[in-house]
Structure 1
């Protein structure tokens, strides 16, 4: 099961857990309500009809794999900086961790960073318009599937970009989540 918590402000090494003192964990239902991030546990050892159903329902028609490690990713240092720079996308970001581990950091409605630890079998869907970033943990390795609707587009829009329509729509959906 995925684990999420509010982060402290010390980023001396972005790959560390960065718990507040005392730690403040974010339950899965609150994670969805305050960020819109969806989580699914996927059994990697067998056929997974739930994953196929999710892909069909959401229109994920393209998938590939990404391997992030200092020895496997060309221009690793540059790419890891890009991944960790706060940004948003105009489409959902869908990642299924196959091996390794890392962290997705997302902003909640109060602008707190919420760190989401991902391990094999964790599938996250970050909604379009959410400010987020990614980093490896101290293991320095992750292999993940990436899913897309149509041709893959991975264009980060670095903060600030509050005027973008996807950001405005995202904030409206979150307000509705919080009212329910």
Structure 2
């Protein structure tokens, strides 16, 4: 089950650590959806091919393409530079959908007050980040994750780095969470 919390954005701390505020301030799934538009489902990663909920999500949301991405020093070419790209704050014109098959990591997303919320993604977690949300990704200290990336139509992974407040997807996201 996914966990989320407001995070300490101390640049001196390893980005792969949990980075809790003191005291910790957790965010439940309803708050996460309300404050960010992020959606969550728990799906059995060991049997997702036969999972009715997974099939229903794909059909209802129009996700007709998927591929796998494995992030580790051994599996991802140009590992260090890719991690820097993933951890640069950005948005996308389309949803970002990730279903974790193994390993773990963090998605950091901005709430409507521009505060960071850290979302721990682990095996069985399916996350949908809405188009236009500022976010970034990092591995945790396990240094490994394997995910399915889902798309509507042809895969498109174009990161639009911040600032991008005038982008139409950003304007739509602001309306979604206000």
Q: CA RMSD in A?
A: 0.7
SS of equivalent residue, structure 1 residue 32: helix
1:10: how far off? 1.4
SS of equivalent residue, structure 1 residue 101: strand
For 2:101, the equivalent position in structure 1 comes to 98
TM normalised by structure 1 equals: 0.96
**Alignment deviations for residues 56-112 of structure 1 (CA, whole Å, 9 cap, x no partner):** 111111100000001110000000000000000000000000000000000001111
* 1:24-103 paired onto structure 2 within 5 Å: 24-46=25-47, 47-103=50-106
Distance in 1 between residues matched to 2:129 and 2:21, nearest whole Å: 23
* 1:145-164 paired onto structure 2 within 5 Å: 145-164=148-167
SS of equivalent residue, structure 2 residue 156: coil
SS of equivalent residue, structure 2 residue 109: strand
**Number of aligned positions between the proteins:** 175
Give unmatched runs, 5+ long, in structure 2.
none
Which 4+ stretches in 1 moved above 6 angstroms?
Answer: none
Give unmatched runs, 5+ long, in structure 1.
176-180
Distance in 2 between residues matched to 1:173 and 1:120, nearest whole Å: 28
**Alignment deviations for residues 41-65 of structure 1 (CA, whole Å, 9 cap, x no partner):** 0012332011101101111111000
Say whether 1:138 aligns with 2:141. yes
1:173: how far off? 1.2
